[in-house]
A = this chain, B = another copy of it.
Amino acid sequence: MSAPDLTRASAVAAAEAIRAGALSSEALVSACLQRIAETDGAIRAWAHLDPEAALAQAREADRLRKAGRATGALHGVPVGLKDIVDTRDMPTELGTAIFAGRQPEMDATLVERLREAGAVIMGKTKTTELAFVHPTDTTNPHDATRTPGGSSSGSAAAVAACHVPLAVGTQTNGSVIRPASFCGTYGFKPSRGIISRQGLLQTSVSLDQVGVFARHIEDAALLADVIGSYDQRDPASLPRPRPAMLAGATAEAPVEPDLAWFDLPHHDRLSPDAREGLEQVIEALGPRVERYGAAPELADLVRVQGIIHEYEICQHLAETFAAHWDRISATLQPVITRGRAISQAQYEDALAVKASAESFFAAFGRDYDAILAPSAAGEAPLLAAGGTGDPIFCTIWTLAGLPCLSLPLLVGENDLPIGVQLIGAAEQDDRLLRTASWLQRQLGQTDEKES
């Protein structure tokens, strides 16, 4: 492969080639670094990048392999990390000048898992302020006048721009699925509790979840396999086996899957091109999709997510907001002010609704392999519109902790990508991935065309 091709390689293929000695990690990382150097002036995906440090890791991966030492599942493959994931050898600045130069002493648990898998920690990708509403300066690789989405803005943009084959993000509302949709990558947020949040900025203990970006479904699955682990320091972490993600993504469905679609009140926010594309998907799948009516009890979950999110961020970051209020953006300040006004009783009511929603979806998951849904309202909005796009198409599923996957299947009226979302049953991420691979075959799409 020539250097330009290397940056488009899938992580699965690159790891295999590196393990086989057909490709060096140094060549792969060099090609990625060159691509970053060429394009990141406009995209601004990276918050911290030290090319020499990345190359040193790549050379060490190559040295180990040549010495006959063990190679890992992501041996020599570069991975970007949202800049709220602590790294002991790189700053972690949380998207705000308040934490400029912040240098953690310890790696996040998911970084331990990446090092154990032989991955190259490429650098830190830009996040919105404290992983919430105020945008960073990252642009959409498909159109520099548009947002890449948020809050995992840099991770989505870096993968879309072929800076890295893989990146890690987080989602408390719609921060993986939405930027994946806007940037035309896969975005996969596994079930809550699969991936440890130890060593990540905590904005909502009940809602924060880790997800991944990739240009191939198998790559997203492999990265989730690698970084998923039980970690008793994360109260949501599940003390039991995890679904086998890559095996799920590459499995054949034993029978044709059954999908459900909910017509939800917020669907009136869909752009015409997104609506049309989704209707075509539903039509193409025919009897495989069962359509449900407006379901107002689901719509109320959007409000419930907001209460929990805003109440908890005010609790978790109380000290930061108190000490640095003047350095909090004008976008975030009113949200925090609103959050501070939420009573404990309102919050506890919201948690109770969340629990009942989880029970509802647990029962629902017995009858359906996945829920089909929009990933976002449409193409990436213009930067001039402010913000990072509307997360509402993700809110309910994040609240319930369900595994969510955005597939880059549609193209909008400006030739920009629009994702299609599949949502699985809790802890049945493997079944979700299997269903997603089936869906792609069904629609005559393969992820090769996306890379």
Contact = CB atoms under 8 A, between A and B. Distances in A.
A240 B25 CA distance: 15
Given A68-B428, A428-B69, A430-B70, A117 B241 contact: yes
Given A117-B241, A118-B241, A242-B116, A106 B232 contact: yes
A69 B112 contact: no
Contact of A241 (B64, B230, B239): B64
A241 B428 contact: no
A250 B60 CA distance: 28
A151 interface: no
A60 to B, nearest CB: 8
A71 B232 contact: no
Contact of A88 (B69, B115, B232, B243): B232
Interface in A393-451: 427-428, 430-431
Contact of A240 (B68, B88, B116, B242): B116
Contacts of A231: 112
Nearest to A429: B70
Given A106-B232, A107-B232, A232-B106, A244 B70 contact: yes
Interface in A55-112: 60, 64, 68-72, 75, 88, 106-107, 112
| Among A113, A115, A241: residue with most chain B CB under 10 A | A241
Contacts of A240: 60, 64, 69-70, 72, 115-116, 118
A229 interface: yes
A227 to B, nearest CB: 12
B70 A230 contact: no
A240 B106 CA distance: 16
Contacts of A72: 240-242
Contacts of A242: 70, 72, 116
A19 to B, nearest CB: 10
Nearest to A244: B70
Contacts of A69: 240-241, 243, 427-428
Given A69-B427, A88-B232, A427-B70, A241 B116 contact: yes
A115 to B, nearest CB: 4
Q: Specify how many copies of this chain sit in the oligomer.
A: 2
Contacts of A107: 232
Given A244-B70, A427-B70, A115 B230 contact: yes
Nearest to A111: B232
A434 to B, nearest CB: 12
B68 A112 contact: no
A241 B112 contact: no
A218 to B, nearest CB: 18
Nearest to A73: B241
A115 B237 CA distance: 11
Nearest to A199: B232
Contacts of A106: 232
| Among A70, A75, A112: residue with most chain B CB under 10 A | A70
Interface in A121-151: none
A20 to B, nearest CB: 15
Contacts of A60: 240
Contacts of A64: 240-241
A243 to B, nearest CB: 4
Contacts of A431: 68
Contacts of A428: 68-69
Contacts of A117: 241
16 contacts: A64-B240, A64-B241, A68-B428, A69-B243, A69-B427, A70-B430, A72-B241, A72-B242, A88-B232, A107-B232, A112-B232, A113-B230, A115-B230, A116-B242, A118-B240, A118-B241
Given A116-B230, A116-B242, A118-B241, 19 more contacts: A60-B240, A64-B240, A68-B431, A69-B243, A69-B427, A70-B242, A70-B243, A70-B244, A72-B240, A72-B241, A88-B232, A107-B232, A112-B229, A112-B230, A112-B239, A115-B230, A115-B239, A115-B240, A116-B241
Closest 3 CB pairs of A and B: A72-B241, A116-B230, A70-B241
